[in-house]
């Protein structure tokens, strides 16, 4: 089943006082199937975050369409957009975006509280999730009291607790040391195995090599993509590295 | 690293510019404090002021003002400076990481402080010279001092002010050096987020808060007499201040934590965010909020008491002077015919009218009351102030024929009978005894020509009407103290009709003429006391308004700084919340509710404080003979309303800049 469909997406930033225009996305089209684990790679400034923000309904495209489960999220009313985001999407950010005013547990509850779920239900959902992410013991702690890896796992729990159709992750391993990063990638693979659709932006080859499919973005356009097929993580790693080097040399004769 | 000599001053200026939204208000505060301090010093040392009646009292009040402003400046400038440097820790840490050594950072800080000092002192002293003159004219107006006084630039005052503030700035610089020295770059970098720990609430502190506040309020409510009010007021103030800090710091967190424990309540979207946000904020700002609360209370109490005193002077004066003028002399050595002539002559000359004239014999002495006995000495040996105050009484004895003549009544009394008039509560006994002599009270009079009932008297005064001169003299000779006059007295009392200037001229001329003819005579004159009272209460009012404005400025600044620092933090928080799925209007509502509660908590606290302070304030003012509770209440009420309006205006203005940051 097709979960996400992106058609001819274009984004032009206009600086505040008119003048300069920056084309962040030129013409992006792709789709994601239910249960897929897709990585998006590209150099810094290639438009990855812009793309993700549009998919997250945090930003509007200049033109083009985005369908999530058949619903066009570009045309959703402003008044419904928060609820839509809360119900359908989960986010994992590079800098965690946990609130220091809340304990980890309350940070994880936040989207459910906003959706006016009662405490018993929230707690019922949290228990298995916390166990799987190995954060049961640190739930009462505050973000500034735990390590980066622990913070990111709490952020993953916050993204998953709403049982979203799609998890969006922007450089989720960017602020983690390699061990914590590996741990997080294992968790992503694990939840993907359970059927969770994931779209992850990264410029780490190691991170991308865990995905089923890698999209390469350059100058605001999809440049190439690699399917895992039956490849192992190591094979994926090799292939991604090769593609990136071609990408960097500016060549356009990949496969 | 070789750096251009101008590098540090340039960097310092750049830093001040970059942080202008906090440094401009800070410099304005410095300027304000300097103006206030210099103005007080220069008015205090003004030579011309010494010529006015009651100058000693006024000077003492002004001196008190200098001390208060000095202490206030030290505390407040330290407070704001520490706020500023804390906010800049991250920036300083960045310099450190970019390769500036600590001593270089110190040099930058030095130049910054130097610039702030030069700007503040220059503008502050110029402002002080200009505004000081204006305020001086205001003071002269308040104290009804007519003859024009020159207000010169007080060079000595300029020097003192410079010295005091250079010392304050020097000390703030030292603490900033210490801050930089004691922390390493990583800490400096983290500075902004440092110590964001879940606040600990301690039951002990909460308990201390509740008990202190209870004691403070208890004292305020239980004070019975003006004298104890004066003594205990400051004790109560100290308890209330301790209680306020303790409760804001710990009590509020204890309460919020209880709310948090209640899962049904806590996990509802609006409570969830505001309760956790307030716990977080309480810890950061409990002291700031307590400061606002106490400053607000101080503004309200200072303003309402001084305004009440000033407005209430008229009625207070009447308590001391039932009639404008009273001339009292010993019967044996005073020629009242001559005095009457003098008064007549001066009256014509000054072109005033004399009305309500009373002329009568009397005896007057002081005694200590115990039940229906009046004694020459204190009743008990352990003479405490309170007991003295409760028992000491002034007795005035007047013969019946004078009373009948003045009132037009036709009463009669036997030698062992008397009629009593008390200016306070009724005398209440059947008999009245002086030593072995005992008189029967036939009647408690409701009014008497030479005095009137006072709603809340500070001392006890009893008028006794007795059969004749013989009875009066007998009692007087038995009861008089060693330094009382030998014989009984004659009194001449009257009111003056005319303009204030005419009355003043009459009073002065009459006094010199009368004392020339009878040197021992006692003259009490309302008009002569006026200028002294104006000096006293006007001085109070001036100081009250002055300090009130200063405290208000401090409150405004604390509020502004709070809004700014919270704005920065909250903008991040609410951005995250929006990403997680909270919509904009909800965010706005939540913020609104939260800052509203946090800001109006101190104001509400201040109002409660003032409400509890009201009884003790009325008692205290009674010591100054201000007994008009309605007046005091109205002044307080107007003060509270005006203050609440100003506070709200400040809040709205700063909330605007807060919302801008969130956006
Ligand atoms: N808010 C913005 N206003 C103007 N230009 C922007 C804005 N956000 C991103 N850009 C520009 O759009 C391009 C793509 O940025 P981004 O999506 O952040 O890239 P990436 O995440 O791949 O590094 C860059 O050239 C960037 O400078
Ligand atoms: Mg990016």
pLDDT per residue as tens digits for the range A34-56: 999 999 998 888 889 899 989 98
| H or E stretch covering B230 | helix B226-246
Report pLDDT for B297.
92
How many residues make up chain A in this entry?
255
- Identify the residue whose C-alpha is closest to ligand 1 atom 8: A50
What percent of chain B clears pLDDT 90, i.e. is strictly above it? 19
Report pLDDT for B146.
66
Q: Is B163 helix (H, G, I), strand (E, B) or coil?
A: helix
What residues pair up with A89 in beta bridges, in sequence order?
A166
Burial of B278 (0-12, 13-18, 19+ CB in 10 A): buried
More confident residue, B114 or B598: B114
Report pLDDT for A255.
45
Distance from C-alpha of B39 to C-alpha of B48, rounded to nearest angstrom? 15
Most confident of A96-110, B158-172, B229-243: B158-172
Question: Confidence class of residue B214 from pLDDT cuts 50, 70 and 90?
Answer: very high
Distance from C-alpha of B197 to C-alpha of B219, rounded to nearest angstrom? 37
Report pLDDT for B48.
75
Mean pLDDT, all residues of chain B: 83
Residues A152-181 have a mean pLDDT of 91
Per-residue pLDDT reduced to its tens digit, B135-144: 888 888 877 7
Report pLDDT for B184.
66
Question: Confidence class of residue B1 from pLDDT cuts 50, 70 and 90?
Answer: very low
Angle between helices A104-114 and A148-160 (to 10 degrees): 20
Indicate if the pLDDT at residue B566 is higher than 70.
yes
Report how far apart, in Å, the C-alpha atoms of B294 and of each of B299, B552, B554, B606 are.
Answer: 9, 11, 11, 7
Question: Confidence class of residue B148 from pLDDT cuts 50, 70 and 90?
Answer: low
Cα of A91 from ligand 2 centre, angstroms:
14
The ipTM estimated for the assembled molecules is 0.80
Single out the residue of B424, B412, B317, B404 nearest to residue B361, CA to CA: B404
For B480, list phi and psi in degrees, rounded to 5. -65, 145
DSSP alpha helix (H) spans, B500-583: 500-517, 526-580
Residues 6+ apart with CB under 8 A from A245: none
Residue B139 exposure: Cα atoms within 13 Å on the Cβ side: 30
Burial of B663 (0-12, 13-18, 19+ CB in 10 A): exposed
Q: Could you state, in order of their start, the residue ranges of all structural domains in chain A?
A: 37-62+83-249
Query: Is residue B269 within 8 Å of A114, Cβ to Cβ?
Result: yes
Judged by CB atoms closer than 8 Å, whether chains meet at B268 and A79 is answered as: no
Residues 6+ apart with CB under 8 A from B417: B439, B440, B441, B442, B466, B467
What percent of chain B clears pLDDT 70, i.e. is strictly above it? 92
Cβ atoms within 10 Å of B354's Cβ, excluding its own:
17
Query: Is residue A203 within 8 Å of A179, Cβ to Cβ?
Result: no
More confident residue, B441 or B380: B441
Query: Is residue B324 within 8 Å of B494, Cβ to Cβ?
Result: yes
Indicate if the pLDDT at residue B380 is higher than 70.
no
Distance from C-alpha of B74 to C-alpha of B167, rounded to nearest angstrom? 9
Per-residue pLDDT reduced to its tens digit, A206-250: 999 999 999 999 888 888 888 988 888 889 999 999 988 888 776
DSSP letter at B188? H
Output B370-374 pairs: Cβ under 8 A, ≥24 positions apart: B371/B429, B372/B429, B372/B430, B372/B431, B372/B432, B372/B433, B373/B433, B373/B434, B374/B432, B374/B433, B374/B434, B374/B479
Probe site for chain A from B566, B581, B588 (most A CB atoms < 10 A): B581
Mutating to test ligand 1, I would choose from A23, A45, A203, A244 the residue with most ligand atoms within 8 A of its C-beta, which is A45
Q: Is B262 helix (H, G, I), strand (E, B) or coil?
A: coil
Distance from C-alpha of A123 to C-alpha of A104, rounded to nearest angstrom? 13
- Report, in angstroms and rounded to the nearest whole number, the Rg of chain B calculated over CA atoms: 33
Report how far apart, in Å, the C-alpha atoms of B190 and of each of A144, B92, B185, B194, B627 are.
Answer: 11, 11, 8, 6, 58
The DSSP result for B314-332, as a single string, is HHHHHHH-SSSEEEEEETT
DSSP alpha helix (H) spans, A115-249: 119-133, 148-160, 178-193, 205-208, 233-248
CATH superfamily of A37-62+83-249: P-loop containing nucleotide triphosphate hydrolases (3.40.50.300)
Longest dimension (CA), chain A: 57
Query: Is residue B27 within 8 Å of B119, Cβ to Cβ?
Result: yes
Longest dimension (CA), chain B: 109
Query: Is residue B325 within 8 Å of B633, Cβ to Cβ?
Result: no
Report pLDDT for B186.
62
What residues pair up with B88 in beta bridges, in sequence order?
none
Buried b (16+ CB within 10 A) or exposed e, B546-563: bbbebbbbbbbbbbbbbb
Per-residue pLDDT reduced to its tens digit, A67-124: 998 899 988 887 788 888 888 999 898 888 888 888 999 999 988 988 888 899 999 9
Report how far apart, in Å, the C-alpha atoms of B632 and of each of B309, B316, B511, B604 are.
Answer: 8, 13, 35, 20
User: Is A58's C-beta closer than 6 angstroms to any atom of ligand 1?
Assistant: no
Report pLDDT for B205.
86
More confident residue, B515 or B99: B515
Indicate if the pLDDT at residue B194 is higher than 60.
no
Mean pLDDT, all residues of chain A: 89
Q: Å from A222 to nearest chain B CA? A: 26
Residues A157-180 have a mean pLDDT of 91
CA B461 to chain centre: 30
Tell me how many residue pairs between chain A and chain B have CB atoms under 8 A apart. Answer: 70
Distance from C-alpha of A147 to C-alpha of A149, rounded to nearest angstrom? 5
Chain B residues with beta carbon closer than 8 angstroms to that of A93: 579
Query: Is residue B445 within 8 Å of B420, Cβ to Cβ?
Result: yes
More confident residue, B531 or B20: B20
Distance from C-alpha of A44 to C-alpha of B304, rounded to nearest angstrom? 65
Q: Which atom of ligand 1 is nearest to the CA of A42?
A: 22
Indicate if the pLDDT at residue B271 is higher than 90.
no
Chain B residues with beta carbon closer than 8 angstroms to that of A99: 573, 576-577
Query: Is residue B112 within 8 Å of B15, Cβ to Cβ?
Result: yes
Report pLDDT for A215.
93
Judged by CB atoms closer than 8 Å, whether chains meet at B193 and A56 is answered as: no
Single out the residue of B612, B646, B630, B4 nearest to residue B315, CA to CA: B630
Report pLDDT for B451.
87
Judged by CB atoms closer than 8 Å, whether chains meet at A97 and B272 is answered as: no
Most confident of A144-148, A193-197, B337-341: A193-197
Mutating to test ligand 1, I would choose from A41, A46, A50, A223 the residue with most ligand atoms within 8 A of its C-beta, which is A50
Single out the residue of B395, B379, B396, B397 nearest to residue B387, CA to CA: B379
Indicate if the pLDDT at residue B653 is higher than 70.
yes
Q: Which residues of A touch B (CB under 8 A)?
A: 56, 58, 79, 81-83, 85-87, 91, 93, 97-103, 106, 109-111, 113-116, 118-119, 122, 142, 144, 158
Question: Confidence class of residue B386 from pLDDT cuts 50, 70 and 90?
Answer: low
Report pLDDT for B187.
61
Per-residue pLDDT reduced to its tens digit, B458-481: 578 899 999 988 889 988 888 888
| H or E stretch covering A28 | strand A21-33
Question: Confidence class of residue B455 from pLDDT cuts 50, 70 and 90?
Answer: low
Cα of A168 from ligand 2 centre, angstroms:
13
The DSSP result for B98-135, as a single string, is TT--HHHHHHHHHHHHHHHHHHHHHHHHHHHHHHHHHH
Question: Confidence class of residue B381 from pLDDT cuts 50, 70 and 90?
Answer: low
Indicate if the pLDDT at residue B307 is higher than 60.
yes
Report pLDDT for B249.
83
Query: Is residue B574 within 8 Å of B265, Cβ to Cβ?
Result: no
Most confident of A86-100, B96-110, B518-532: A86-100
Q: Å from A49 to nearest chain B CA? A: 14
User: Is A21's C-beta closer than 6 angstroms to any atom of ligand 1?
Assistant: no
Report pLDDT for A254.
47
More confident residue, B489 or B226: B489
Burial of B92 (0-12, 13-18, 19+ CB in 10 A): buried
Single out the residue of A99, A85, A79, A121 nearest to residue B272, CA to CA: A99
User: Is A47's C-beta closer than 6 angstroms to any atom of ligand 1?
Assistant: yes
Chain A residues with beta carbon closer than 8 angstroms to that of B197: 142, 144
């Amino acid at each position: 089943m097709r979960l996400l469909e992106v058609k001819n997406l274009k984004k032009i930033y206009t600086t505040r006082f008119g003048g300069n225009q920056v084309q962040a996305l030129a013409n992006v089209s792709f789709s994601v199937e239910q249960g897929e684990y897709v990585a998006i790679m590209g150099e810094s400034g290639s438009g990855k975050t812009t793309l993700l923000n549009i998919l997250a309904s945090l930003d509007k495209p200049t033109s083009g369409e985005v369908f999530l489960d058949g619903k066009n999220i570009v045309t959703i009313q402003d008044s419904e957009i928060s609820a839509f985001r809360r119900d359908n999407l989960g986010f994992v950010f590079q800098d965690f975006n946990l609130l220091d005013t809340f304990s980890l547990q309350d940070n994880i509850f936040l989207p459910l509280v906003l959706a006016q779920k009662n405490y018993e239900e929230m707690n019922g959902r949290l228990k298995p999730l916390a166990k799987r992410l190995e954060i049961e013991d640190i739930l009462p702690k505050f973000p500034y009291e735990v390590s980066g890896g622990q913070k990111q796992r709490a952020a993953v729990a916050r993204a998953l607790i709403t049982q979203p159709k799609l998890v969006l992750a922007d450089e989720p391993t960017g602020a983690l040391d390699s061990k914590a990063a590996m741990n997080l990638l294992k968790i992503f693979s694990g939840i993907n195995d359970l059927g969770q659709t994931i779209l992850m932006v990264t410029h780490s080859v190691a991170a991308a090599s865990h995905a089923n499919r890698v999209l390469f973005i350059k100058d605001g356009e999809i440049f190439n993509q690699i399917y895992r097929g039956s490849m192992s993580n190591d094979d994926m790693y090799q292939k991604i590295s090769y593609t990136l080097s071609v990408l960097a040399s500016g060549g356009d004769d990949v496969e | 690293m070789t750096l251009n000599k101008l590098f540090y001053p340039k960097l310092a200026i750049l830093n001040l510019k970059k942080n202008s939204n906090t440094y401009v208000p800070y410099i304005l505060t410095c300027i304000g404090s300097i103006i206030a301090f210099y103005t007080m010093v220069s008015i205090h040392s003004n030579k011309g002021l010494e010529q006015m009646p009651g100058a000693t009292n006024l000077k003492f009040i002004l001196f008190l003002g200098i001390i208060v402003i000095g202490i206030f400046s030290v505390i407040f400038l330290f407070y704001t400076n520490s706020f500023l440097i804390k906010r800049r820790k991250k920036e300083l840490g960045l310099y450190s990481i970019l390769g500036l050594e600590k001593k270089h950072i110190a040099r930058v800080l030095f130049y910054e402080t130097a610039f702030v000092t030069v700007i503040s002192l220059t503008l502050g002293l110029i402002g002080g010279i200009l505004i000081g003159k204006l305020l001086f004219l205001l003071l002269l107006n308040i104290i009804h001092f007519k003859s024009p006084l020159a207000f010169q630039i007080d060079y000595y005052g300029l020097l003192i002010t410079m010295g005091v503030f250079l010392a304050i700035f020097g000390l703030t610089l030292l603490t900033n050096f210490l801050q930089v020295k004691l922390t390493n770059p990583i800490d400096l970098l983290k500075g902004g987020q440092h110590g964001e720990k879940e606040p600990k609430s301690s039951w002990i502190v909460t308990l201390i808060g509740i008990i202190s506040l209870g004691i403070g309020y208890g004292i305020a409510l239980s004070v019975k007499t003006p004298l104890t009010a004066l003594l205990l007021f400051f004790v109560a103030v100290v308890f209330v201040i301790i209680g306020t800090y303790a409760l804001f710091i710990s009590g509020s967190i204890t309460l919020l934590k209880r709310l948090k424990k209640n899962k049904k309540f806590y996990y509802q979207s609006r409570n969830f965010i505001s309760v956790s946000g307030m716990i977080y904020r309480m810890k950061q700002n409990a002291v700031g909020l307590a400061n606002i609360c106490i400053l607000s209370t101080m503004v309200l109490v200072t303003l309402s008491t001084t305004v009440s005193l000033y407005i209430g002077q008229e009625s207070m004066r009447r308590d001391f002077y039932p009639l404008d003028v009273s001339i009292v002399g010993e019967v044996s050595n005073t020629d009242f015919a001559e005095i009457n002539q003098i008064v007549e002559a001066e009256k014509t000359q000054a072109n005033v009218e004399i009305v309500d004239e009373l002329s009568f014999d009397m005896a007057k002495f002081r005694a200590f009351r115990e039940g229906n006995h009046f004694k020459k000495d204190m009743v008990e040996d352990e003479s405490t102030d309170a007991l003295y105050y409760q028992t000491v009484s002034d007795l005035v004895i007047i013969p019946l024929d004078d009373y009948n003549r003045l009132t037009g009544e036709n009463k009669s009394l036997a030698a062992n009978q008397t009629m009593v008039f008390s200016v306070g509560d009724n005398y209440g006994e059947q008999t009245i005894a002086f030593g072995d002599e005992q008189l029967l009270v036939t009647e408690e009079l409701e009014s008497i020509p030479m005095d009137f009932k006072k709603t809340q008297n500070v001392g006890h005064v009893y008028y006794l009407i007795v059969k004749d001169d013989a009875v009066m003299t007998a009692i007087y000779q038995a009861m008089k103290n060693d330094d009382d006059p030998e014989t009984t007295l004659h009194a001449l009392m009257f009111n003056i009709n005319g303009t204030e200037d005419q009355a003043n001229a009459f009073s002065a001329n009459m006094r010199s003429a009368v004392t020339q003819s009878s040197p021992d005579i006692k003259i009490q004159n309302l008009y002569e006391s006026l200028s002294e009272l104006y000096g006293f209460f006007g001085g109070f009012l001036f100081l009250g308004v002055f300090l009130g404005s200063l405290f208000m400025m401090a409150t405004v600044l604390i509020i502004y700084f709070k809004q700014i620092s919270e704005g920065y933090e909250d903008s991040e928080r609410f951005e995250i919340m929006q990403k997680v799925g909270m919509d904009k209007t909800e965010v706005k509502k939540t913020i609104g509710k939260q800052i509203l509660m946090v800001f109006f908590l101190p104001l509400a606290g201040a109002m409660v404080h003032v409400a509890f302070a009201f009884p003790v304030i009325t008692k205290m003012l009674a010591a100054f003979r201000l007994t008009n509770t309605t007046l005091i209440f109205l002044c307080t009420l107007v003060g509270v309303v005006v203050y609440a309006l100003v506070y709200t205006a400040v809040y709205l203005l700063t909330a605007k800049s807060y919302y801008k940051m969130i956006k």
